[in-house]
Structure 1
Amino acid sequence: MKGPWIDSSSVLLGGLVGAALGKRVPERLRTALPMAFGLCSMGLGIALTVGVKHLAAMVLSLILGALIGELIFLEKGIGALSRHMRRLVDRVLPSSADEGESNKEYLQTFVAVLVLFCASGTGIFGAMKEGMTGDSSILIAKSLLDFFTAAIFATELGYAVAIIAVPQLLVQVALFFGATVILPLTNPMLIADFSAVGGLIMFATGLRICKIRDFAVANMLPALLLAMPLSALWTRIFHI
């Protein structure tokens, strides 16, 4: 199991490097590159979504998942966690984030970045694939992009970005060990619908990163848990 460790290490190192550089990175790069990352997230989201097999199951998963997330205040909880992380990190390392930046704007960006790293469709399937086949190539390739993504966002958000490596590692390790149980129960249609739901979330994440629309992307995450069961139920009921 090397893929999750390599990918998370790239986030940790990128976050530390970016936060250390801080204002020394030109403003045009700190502004332009996150827009490019947001565009990549939207592009990947579209690519994943077009492969959907059961459109109704995808829509229902996202609606019910967002409803659950809103009812349990998932994004609010993540926001509280991020505030705690920021205070904890700032006690040890000086923050490179803008002092005048509003706390709300900081949290909005941080939550979007947290989802981008921890709920990436590429990361999810990369970890599951390595768990089943031992092939870590997907996560190794993803780690290259994650390093630069973490570095750029850390120039704005500070050292807290590096801490995202911890929940990312936990998610990928859990998927790695759970893959032997989950994947034998799936089929290409279930995986396609799961990918489509993840694609919608990644598209919303891209819109948020680009500051086009402030979607509560963290509240949509329960949809990932519902995607395969609802797809399987839809197939059983309608035999398609």
Structure 2
Amino acid sequence: MLAVFVNCVAVVLGSLLGLLVAGRMSRKMEDVIQTGAGFITLILGMQMAFKYQNVCFLTLAIILGGIIGTIIDLDAKILSLGKLLARLVPQKNSESCPEKGDGETALSSNRNFAYAFLNASVLFCVGAMAILGSFKAGIEKDYSIIFTKSILDGFMAISFTAAMGIGTAFSAIAIFLYQGALTLLSVAVQPYVSDVMLAELTGSGGVLICMIGINLIGLKKIKTANYLPAVVFTVLFVLLESPVRNLLGI
């Protein structure tokens, strides 16, 4: 679990640095950083998305995952968790919007906190490095992948916090729960994780990260969390591929 703690600390420290940077900038400069962070996130997502090996798995996982996530309104549930966390953190009133009442300002602040928490949690938890790094840490006590991921996450946390706010720091909770669980369960789960599964998970995770990038740029407001079930469908498709092929004699 040492590597998981290091990853969480890296995100928190990066978020604090991002908060210091954001506090010294005008709204115009914050928009510049948000747009830049959006394009970098989009490029990162595209690099990951093209790691897929079976486009049918990717297509079905994203579409079916989006349908299931929308039906259960997963995005709203995670945002509600983010808003709950926001109430635990003192929020300063916005001075740039004097026409808004205190209640409306607080509501907007909580919403921004929740979106930062949601988007950062998805960004830092999806992808092969989180999965493979957790397995290596749990089985082989090899922390190199998670330590490398921690450095990358820390720098991304700086730009994310500058763009979206301190809610980014609380994604450390999601990292701790997700990567901690993978590390503890690594021995039991590892036999089912193949190179193909890692590639497909990286591909579907990359699509989700592209959605975050599009949100940051402002091209379209996508409820990214509603597509999280795509990860589950990806795992199911890969696990069922061999039995189905054997059954059909392919």
TM value normalised by structure 2: 0.81
Give 1:219 shift. Answer: 0.9
The match for 1:161 is 168
DSSP-derived class of the 1:88 partner = coil
Amino acid at match of 1:41: T
Size of the alignment, in residue pairs? 237
Of 131, 140, 144, the match for 1:124: 131
CA contact (8 A) 1:61 1:226 kept: yes
Distance 1:175 1:12, change over 3 A: same
Give 1:220 shift. Answer: 0.9
Distance 1:131 1:72, change over 3 A: same
Q: Distance in 1 between matches of 2:237 and 2:36?
A: 33
The match for 1:81 is 81
Q: CA RMSD in A?
A: 2.8
1:44 aligns with 2:44: yes
Give 1:27 shift. Answer: 5.3
Structure 1's consecutive aligned runs of 4 or more residues displaced over 6 angstroms after TM superposition are: 96-99
Q: 1:26-45 alignment to 2 at 5 Å?
A: 30-45=30-45
Q: Distance in 2 between matches of 1:235 and 1:48?
A: 24
Is the deviation greater in 218-227 or in 181-190? 181-190
Amino acid at match of 2:50: V
TM value normalised by structure 1: 0.83
Amino acid at match of 2:217: C
Q: Distance in 2 between matches of 1:2 and 1:156?
A: 29
Task: Please tell me whether Structure 1 or Structure 2 has the larger radius of gyration of its CA atoms.
Answer: 2
The match for 2:230 is 223
1:212 aligns with 2:212: no
Give 1:133 shift. Answer: 2.6
Amino acid at match of 1:137: S
Q: 1:17-166 alignment to 2 at 5 Å?
A: 17-25=17-25, 30-90=30-90, 94-95=91-92, 100=97, 103=108, 106=112, 107-155=114-162, 157-166=164-173
CA contact (8 A) 1:70 1:219 kept: yes
Aligned-residue sequence identity (percent) comes to: 26
Amino acid at match of 2:132: F
Distance 1:99 1:126, change over 3 A: farther
Amino acid at match of 1:10: A
Structure 1 residue runs without a partner (length 5+): none
Q: Distance in 1 between matches of 2:243 and 2:171?
A: 39
Give 1:109 shift. Answer: 4.5
Give 1:50 shift. Answer: 2.3
Distance 1:98 1:73, change over 3 A: farther
The match for 2:208 is 201
